[in-house]
Amino acid sequence: MKDVAQHAGVSTATVSRVLNGHAAPTPETRVRVLAAIEELGYRPNALARSLRTTSTQTLGLVISDLLNPFFAEIARAVEDEARSHGYCVVIGNADESAEQEATYVRTLLDRRVDGLLLCPATDDPSLVREVSAGGVPLVLLDRTVRGATCPVVRADGSEALTALARRLVGAGHTRIGVIAGPPNTSTGRERTDVLTGSLGGLAQVVHGDFRQESGSQAAAKLIEDGATALVAMDNLMGLGALGEIRARGLQIPHDIALAVFDDQPWFPLLDPPITVIAQPTVEMGRAAARSLLALINGQQPDDVRLTAKLVLRGSLGEAEL
């Protein structure tokens, strides 16, 4: 910057003013400065700028698993929304590990992100409290924690799950295997509670960890226990369950019915296409980013609850169509 100032025959203050679009500098000075900038290929140092202004124009996003297309899509949506408001997004991948999540949150705070979006790995509120104590704007996404005091953006699958339960019962299933998420995550618990609640005593629950491998194992166990229908509570566990079903040579829906929470582009391509509960991922990401930006601007955004929808495709059997 000093070089630019010298080159243009002005002070660094003037260069800074030109850079920040202040009213002060003469059009004439402005072009001289811009010319010098161009000539020297100068680019301002964002670190120095942020240090001085205490604003990084950056949002932190800590997601549970980058390989889960659900979160990838959320990340994409957050980024789009943020960019359209002049913000950048730094993504941290917690890999469903509370420890790694905490590490990332701290790293992002150390880098002074202007706000943080968090998909908490567990419902333990301590990390959230730590962030709030630091006074950093925080919005929870997809999952919440016990006694959360910050805005939460998530999808409500209750209606869809109840409708799904009705279908399953209506089709005469009496042993329904539920491949649930970890009980210490809000989505893991709530979805399972709603579904088992509406299924009365027909449900058998096995907990997985939102990953493919656990889906296979849970499916194996449930099939051996005589389940005639499976419901996987996220797309990766659904993938695992599907693999297990195929590996055992079972036919969907003849031998076993299947439904999955989360839609994926390839679910309709299976034979039969898989019935799912589709979440409005893009809207969730955008809404979360908007809430966070509002919070940063001193507003008090409300919680957002979007609705997940049951999409019937055939994997529950003829009854559904």
**Residue 270 half-sphere exposure, CB side, CA atoms within 13 Å?**
25
- Per partner kind, with CB cut-offs from 5 to 8 A, the member of DNA, a second copy, none near residue 214 is none
Token representation of residue 173: 């299933």
Strands 275-278 and 88-93: unpaired
Give the x-and-dash track for 98-137 against a second copy (CB under 8 A): --------xx-xxxx--------------------xx---
User: How many whole angstroms separate alpha carbon 147 and alpha carbon 172?
Assistant: 39
Q: In 140-211, where does DSSP find H-type helix? A: 158-170, 186-199
Q: How far is the CB of 158 from a second copy (least distance, A)?
A: 28
Contacts of 306 (CB under 8 A, 6+ apart): 153, 154, 155, 156, 279, 280, 283, 284, 287
Q: Which of 4, 15, 64, 69 binds a second copy (CB under 8 A)?
A: 69
Residue among 171 and 270 whose Cβ is closer to a second copy = 270
Q: Which stretch binds a second copy (CB under 8 A): 37-45, 140-148, 192-200, 223-231?
A: 37-45
- Per partner kind, with CB cut-offs from 5 to 8 A, the member of a second copy, DNA, none near residue 29 is DNA
Asked if omega into 27 is within 30° of 0 (cis), the reply is no
Q: How far is the CB of 165 from a second copy (least distance, A)?
A: 26
Q: Containing H/E element for 67?
A: none
Residue among 28 and 318 whose Cβ is closer to DNA = 28
Enumerate binding residues for a second copy (CB under 8 A).
Answer: 41, 43-48, 50-51, 56, 66-67, 69, 72-73, 75-76, 79, 88, 90-91, 93, 106-107, 109-112, 133-134, 212, 239, 242-243, 246, 264-266, 268-271
